[in-house]
Amino acid sequence: LISGCGTFTFLSSAIAAVSGLLMGYELGLISGALLQMSSILALSCKEQEIVVSSLLFGALFASLTGGFLIDRFGRRLAIITASSLLVLGSLILLPYESYGILIVGRIAIGISISLSSIATCVYIAEIAPQHRRGLLVSLNELMIVIGILFAYISNYAFASISHGWKYMFGLVIPLGALQAIAMYFLPPSPRFLVMKNNDEAARKVLERLRETSDATKELTLIKSSLKDEHQYSFLDLFRSKNNMRARMLVGLTLVFFVQITGQPNILFYASTVLKSVGFQSNEAASLASTGVGVVKVVSTVPATVFVDQVGSKTFLCIGSSVMAVSLVTMGLVNRNIHVNVTNVCKSQSPEDFFLQRSGNLTGVTNGSLKDLFASMASPERLSFDAQRSPDVTRTGELNRTAFEGSHMESGEVPIVLKWLSLASLLVYVAAFSIGLGPMSWLILSEIFPGGIRGRAMALTSSMNWGINLLISLTFLTVTELIGLSWVCFIYTIMSLASLAFVIVFIPETKGCSLEQISMELAKQ
């Protein structure tokens, strides 16, 4: 697995990818922590909404400004800054139990994970040898899903402990600090050093990374390509020179499809859907969160390991096709079952909701809420996490809906349909984790020229979060209007559209150096 990329390169990439782990953890975490905090701090719906969204605001802000930081001060420095900020944000949260401090801490964490997600992809893509780049960049995505799984586990572990949320937030502090220190000893990206006209240092770094005594050939390639790229300004991303506008559009469309195929929302409703098709509450809840978490990790592994042999384009095609199939299945199953997610609007303050001890709700509150929040998180869907959770607590309108509101019209659901529904959900999650999940970020870190890579990635990433916000906000209304099975069918159409888009527009990039890719794309 490591053969052909050198232990040092692998180690550097792995240390950089720790920011993926931290990011996944922070994303999956808020769900469990919010349950505790909202009762301790007696947060109103609006306030909970703001706590969750504050992470998103930080992230959106960082993705708009972070690109310049990454291109100006270097990829490695950006990762160090991000880790330190994460530690700082988490430290602020711990001693105080106040709403204001909570917001400040979450904003800091949001800025941190946004910055590190862009910087890490760029850093790894730039230190990796061309035939192992896919593996190393996807390492970051793999770490993110593992982070999410860890967050679920810590949500469970600390749920019943008093002040458990402090432990949840505190766990990342040693890891973040260690990463910042370790990154300090790693080399800067050789391409960044060349951009800063420091060729001698770049040569030394390349020799260490490639474990050869002579890296002149690769250095010359990098230099010649950067000479052409050096004159890029931010606005060139929107001009037709060197096909930049087309490349930007490909990047933005790819990000658009990551969101619009509905992964975050379907995940959000995992528990609801499974409950309404006849799984009992706790069983469904634990299935939804841990099952989804495990499936994500398990399916991201083969994608990561084989991406360089198979190529990211192939994986994207497989992923999109399988997603379409599983979504159709899900839609048809739901049509036959008549999932009836009616809105039983009973105004109810969140305090009552969380303190209510009526048998049915208690089990659900502890199980599903946590899992619902948890099962939505994943890097590409950051904002969604931030945006969806508030809905759950919005003046009880959803409380009833999501947790009891799925009343069954008929008594028992045929056992085949029950399991078919679960199976198609898990297949869908798996297909996403093989295709659009890891591959889109890999392709984004490849298709832009080095001199402007940081800013281009930052732009696509802010687009990612903006769309996400939009989709997450409209999901409830849409579901209510047309029903869940039609939502599945719309996502199916989107999956097929993304398949067509990939086949026509995405270049196959396996085995090419970043410079070759850039030259090819500039010609097209």
C-alpha 421: how far from chain center? 24
* CA angle at 172 for the pair 303 and 56, rounded to the nearest 5°: 75
Cβ-contact 53, 390 below 8 angstroms = yes
Is residue 366 assigned to a domain? Answer: no
Give the C-alpha separation, 320 to 428, whole Å: 9
What confidence score (pLDDT) does residue 374 get?
Answer: 39
Same domain, 182 and 236: no
Cβ-contact 452, 234 below 8 angstroms = yes
Domain span including residue 162:
1-186
Same domain, 147 and 261: no
What confidence score (pLDDT) does residue 342 get?
Answer: 39
Same domain, 238 and 155: no
Number of domains composing the chain: 2
Give the C-alpha separation, 176 to 490, whole Å: 40
Same domain, 448 and 507: yes
Same domain, 241 and 305: yes
Same domain, 22 and 85: yes
Same domain, 286 and 179: no
Q: 458: closest CA among 251, 292, 265?
A: 251
Same domain, 430 and 517: yes
* Domain stop point among 166, 186, 206: 186
What confidence score (pLDDT) does residue 3 get?
Answer: 56
Q: 13: closest CA among 124, 138, 132?
A: 124
Q: 444: closest CA among 453, 433, 452?
A: 453
Q: 248: closest CA among 406, 33, 39, 455?
A: 455
Helix or strand holding residue 521 (H, E):
helix 514-523
Same domain, 165 and 261: no
DSSP state of 280: -
Burial 36-58, CB ≥16 within 10 A → b, else e: bbbeeeebbbebbbbbbbbbbbb
Half-sphere exposure of 135 (CA within 13 A, CB side): 21
List all residues 6 or more positions away from 339 whose beta carbon is below 8 Å from its beta carbon. 273, 276, 277, 406, 483, 484, 485
Give the C-alpha separation, 89 to 21, whole Å: 16
| 341: phi then psi, degrees, rounded to nearest 5 | -95, 80
For the record, the structure tokens of 11 come out as 């180690």
Residue 90 CA: distances (Å) to CA of 78, 103, 106, 170, 282: 18, 11, 8, 6, 31
Give the C-alpha separation, 332 to 322, whole Å: 15
* Domain stop point among 152, 186, 220: 186
C-alpha 59: how far from chain center? 12
Is residue 217 assigned to a domain? Answer: no
**H helices present in 216-262, as ranges:** 216-229, 244-260
List all residues 6 or more positions away from 233 whose beta carbon is below 8 Å from its beta carbon. none
Secondary structure (H, E, C), 101-163: HHHHHHHHHHHHHHHHHHHHHHHHHHHCCHHHHHHHHHHHHHHHHHHHHHHHHHHHHHCCCCC
Same domain, 179 and 307: no
SS3 content of the chain, % helix, strand, coil (to 5): 80, 0, 20
Q: Is the pTM of this model over 0.75?
A: no
Tens of pLDDT along the chain (524 residues)? 455 667 888 899 999 999 999 998 887 777 667 767 777 777 766 676 677 677 777 888 888 888 888 888 888 999 999 999 999 999 988 887 788 888 899 899 989 988 988 899 889 988 888 788 888 888 888 898 899 888 877 877 777 777 788 888 899 999 999 999 999 999 888 888 888 888 888 888 888 888 777 778 888 888 877 776 666 777 777 777 777 888 888 899 999 999 888 876 666 556 556 666 666 554 555 556 677 788 889 998 888 888 888 888 999 999 999 999 999 998 888 787 765 543 322 222 333 333 332 333 323 333 333 343 434 433 333 333 333 333 333 333 333 333 333 444 445 667 787 788 888 888 998 999 998 888 888 888 888 877 777 788 888 888 887 777 677 666 666 777 787 788 889 999 999 999 999 998 888 877 777 777 877 777 76
Is residue 503 assigned to a domain? Answer: yes
Same domain, 118 and 245: no
Give the C-alpha separation, 26 to 442, whole Å: 22
Is residue 391 assigned to a domain? Answer: no
Is residue 461 assigned to a domain? Answer: yes
* Domain stop point among 155, 186, 217: 186
Is residue 400 assigned to a domain? Answer: no
Same domain, 171 and 246: no
Cβ-contact 443, 506 below 8 angstroms = yes
Give the C-alpha separation, 237 to 397, whole Å: 44
Is residue 323 assigned to a domain? Answer: yes
CATH label of the domain that carries residue 15? 1.20.1250.20
Is residue 399 assigned to a domain? Answer: no
Q: At what angle do helices 7-40 and 45-73 cross, to 10 degrees?
A: 160
